[in-house]
A and B are shown apart, each in its own frame.
Chain A
Amino acid sequence: MIVGEQKPLEEIMNLLGDARRVLVVGCGTCVTVCFAGGEKEAAILASALRMKSQLEGHPMEVDEVTVQRQCEWEYIDPLADRLKDYDAILSLACGIGVQAMNERFPESITLPGLNTTFLGLPEEHGVWVERCQACGDCILGLTFGICPIARCSKQLLNGPCGGSQNGVCEVSSDVPCAWHLIWERAIQFGQVERLLEVQPPKNWSRSRDGGPRKIVREDLRLPEKA
């Protein structure tokens, strides 16, 4: 899922500036699951904004609403009539949701209340870790199901660098060395030889480096759009 975390209240207040009427829009999908921008977090943030603005002597009117998925038109379209009542919209969705709102409702300004952090999973309750960089050319089949693009600090493709020690990355003792994990999996499956082949330079054009990406599925397009 997409993992995010809320921006500091101070930063959100600065983003909102002089806005007096604010609508906080939560999202019911990824950011709900990671406790960053769902219905509950939208309500807590709205309340915090009301209190802080009151204390600072320029009270804001803050309402909140949560949609099932902020990144799909059909879920955000019902908001259309409400938005004109507000000076600013504060989205608690990921960066995709924020942009969907700005794209669909260009007459309003929607601001980000979260930092979209990574694609990952909850390793345990309250701990999320990155697992995918959406590089566009999955190599998990070569690396025993552990991604060195997302999990190696240097995105190495041919084994660990010289900074791997006791199974951890040189960058931080909190970060497991991805190549150490890959090596252990190779031993587990008795397939060490698969790691001995020199992997050629990666085609980064399929990643973000090729520019913004797009997928068109003609088989799925509706006739009037095709």
Chain B
Amino acid sequence: MSNPANGYKSGSNLEKLLRAGHFVVTAEIGPPQSADPEVIRRKARLLRGVVDATNITDNQTAIVRMSSIASAVLAMQEGVEPIVQMTCRDRNRLAMQSDLLGAYALGVRNLLCLTGDHQGFGNHPTAKNVHDLDSIQFIQMVKEMRDEGRFQCGDPIKGLRPCFFIGAAENPFADPLDFRPYRLMKKIAAGVDFIQTQIILDIPRFRDFMKRVVDMGLHEQVYILAGIGPLKSTGAARYMRDKVPGMRVREEYVERMEAAVAGIPKEDKQARKEAWEREGIRIAIEQIQEIREIPGVAGVHIMAIEWEEAVRPIVEGAGLLPRPVVE
């Protein structure tokens, strides 16, 4: 098809590992709110050899940060394969396609197509949003660029096509709940290759979602990576439970985080922090072990937000090191 030389769609490490049937591990790097390349380099070094590829977020929560494509290049220089996230919020179809050509030319091979958080949440709430395309139309555009060699308007791409391994997000916990597997089905119809889910803090509900996905046969058409979000404190667990749209947090996690610091005086901040982090990592490891057994799950995506140090102990604790190598 697009890359006849090797038979892969993109030839990325992530694609090769998934195709070979390995249980993959991805993580996430949040670019800095500055022009400092060292932030990306440091985070990338923490993840090198620990995960198979790393998402680079695109102005996440609508806060301006270093460009995900530029950050991806820095991550590659540190030996980490990036998954560039791109939202429909900030770019129209011209800007998206132009950035995709540029990203591919710079060596990016994995892309995550997102709608994007509303700008009202971020630090520029008076901005105009774009949403020229939605995430499903975005997937379709990237697939057509890769497989048909044409731009969204239908014009041919003259020369090298951008051949991305195409990802998207899915939130098994958002409403209307019954529509979620259908939304996944639409993303598959549009041409998605892999899915990373929202952070799972309600495993029974995720299990129900996956049962429907498997019953519909969708897991055979797309690789599904389950979202793991290690908790950093009781407050973080409560915040996710109460404040993050589309999140569901089972009470047991809030209680476990609270119990982790029982008996430690409030003044001993360092001891509380360490106890919380130990428990957060322990929960994440248990979750991976449990989720791994759910039919249809092809890997995990660890979102340790501003806590990249947690990824290695989680992956190690879950028995997923060393990472496999595929030629």
Task: Determine the distance from Cα of A184 to Cα of B270 in the docked complex, in whole angstroms.
Answer: 50
Taking A170-B118, A183-B179 as contacts, is the C-beta distance between A162 and B186 under 8 angstroms? Answer: no
Report whether B118 and A153 are in contact in the complex, using a CB–CB cutoff of 8 Å. Answer: yes
Report whether A164 and B176 are in contact in the complex, using a CB–CB cutoff of 8 Å. Answer: yes
Interface residues in B, total, Cβ within 8 A: 37
User: A14 near B: Cβ within 8 Å?
Assistant: no
Q: Which residues of A contact B39 (CB under 8 A)?
A: none
Could you say which of B1-9, B24-32, B125-133, B206-214 contacts chain A?
B125-133
Task: Determine the distance from Cα of A154 to Cα of B93 in the docked complex, in whole angstroms.
Answer: 15
User: B288 near A: Cβ within 8 Å?
Assistant: no
Could you say which of A17-25, A131-139, A197-205 contacts chain B?
A197-205
Interface members, chain A 157-201 (any B CB < 8 Å): 157-167, 170-171, 177, 179-180, 183-184, 192, 195-196, 198-201
Interface members, chain B 133-168 (any A CB < 8 Å): 133-137, 140-141, 152
Q: Which residues of B contact A157 (CB under 8 A)?
A: 134, 136-137
User: A156 near B: Cβ within 8 Å?
Assistant: yes
Taking A159-B186, A163-B118, A198-B186 as contacts, is the C-beta distance between A180 and B176 under 8 angstroms? Answer: yes
The residue among B89, B118, B120, B179 with the most chain A CB atoms within 10 A of its own CB is B179
Minimum distance in angstroms from A189 CB to a CB of chain B:
15
Report whether B185 and A164 are in contact in the complex, using a CB–CB cutoff of 8 Å. Answer: no
Report whether B246 and A196 are in contact in the complex, using a CB–CB cutoff of 8 Å. Answer: no
User: B303 near A: Cβ within 8 Å?
Assistant: no
Report whether A196 and B175 are in contact in the complex, using a CB–CB cutoff of 8 Å. Answer: no
Minimum distance in angstroms from A176 CB to a CB of chain B:
11
Task: Determine the distance from Cα of A97 to Cα of B280 in the docked complex, in whole angstroms.
Answer: 60
Interface residues in A, total, Cβ within 8 A: 30
User: B258 near A: Cβ within 8 Å?
Assistant: no
User: In the complex, which of the residues A154, A171, A180, A204 contacts B115, with contact meaning CB atoms closer than 8 Å?
Assistant: A154
User: B262 near A: Cβ within 8 Å?
Assistant: no
Report whether B179 and A162 are in contact in the complex, using a CB–CB cutoff of 8 Å. Answer: no
How would you classify the secondary structure of chain A's contact residues: helix, strand, loop or mixed? loop
Taking A154-B89, A154-B129 as contacts, is the C-beta distance between A198 and B176 under 8 angstroms? Answer: no
0/1 string, B163-182, CB within 8 A of A gives 1: 00000011100111011001
Report whether B175 and A164 are in contact in the complex, using a CB–CB cutoff of 8 Å. Answer: yes
User: In the complex, which of the residues A164, A184, A196 contacts B182, with contact meaning CB atoms closer than 8 Å?
Assistant: A196
Report whether A198 and B189 are in contact in the complex, using a CB–CB cutoff of 8 Å. Answer: yes
The residue among B129, B169, B171, B190 with the most chain A CB atoms within 10 A of its own CB is B171
Q: Which residues of A contact B116 (CB under 8 A)?
A: 154
Taking A162-B198, A196-B182, A201-B93 as contacts, is the C-beta distance between A154 and B245 under 8 angstroms? Answer: no
Minimum distance in angstroms from B315 CB to a CB of chain A:
25
Q: Which residues of A contact B117 (CB under 8 A)?
A: 163, 170
Report whether A165 and B136 are in contact in the complex, using a CB–CB cutoff of 8 Å. Answer: no
User: B273 near A: Cβ within 8 Å?
Assistant: no
Task: Determine the distance from Cα of A198 to Cα of B136 in the docked complex, in whole angstroms.
Answer: 8
User: A155 near B: Cβ within 8 Å?
Assistant: yes
Q: Which residues of B contact A184 (CB under 8 A)?
A: 176
Report whether B137 and A161 are in contact in the complex, using a CB–CB cutoff of 8 Å. Answer: no
Q: Closest A-chain residue to B133, C-beta based?
A: A201
User: In the complex, which of the residues B133, B183, B198, B246 contacts A159, with contact meaning CB atoms closer than 8 Å?
Assistant: B183
Q: Which residues of A contact B175 (CB under 8 A)?
A: 160, 164-167, 177, 180
Task: Determine the distance from Cα of A177 to Cα of B246 in the docked complex, in whole angstroms.
Answer: 12
Task: Determine the distance from Cα of A171 to Cα of B121 in the docked complex, in whole angstroms.
Answer: 8
Q: Closest A-chain residue to B89, C-beta based?
A: A154
Q: Which residues of B contact A200 (CB under 8 A)?
A: 137, 140
Task: Determine the distance from Cα of A199 to Cα of B140 in the docked complex, in whole angstroms.
Answer: 10
Task: Determine the distance from Cα of A159 to Cα of B118 in the docked complex, in whole angstroms.
Answer: 16
0/1 string, B202-241, CB within 8 A of A gives 1: 0000000000000000000000000000000000000000
Q: Which residues of B contact A204 (CB under 8 A)?
A: 132
Q: Which residues of B contact A (CB under 8 A)?
A: 88-89, 93, 115-118, 120-121, 129, 131-137, 140-141, 152, 169-171, 174-176, 178-179, 182-183, 185-186, 189-190, 198, 245-246
- Nearest first, the 6 closest Cβ-Cβ pairs linking A and B are A162-B171, A170-B245, A163-B245, A158-B136, A156-B134, A161-B115
Q: Which residues of A contact B (CB under 8 A)?
A: 153-167, 170-171, 177, 179-180, 183-184, 192, 195-196, 198-201, 204
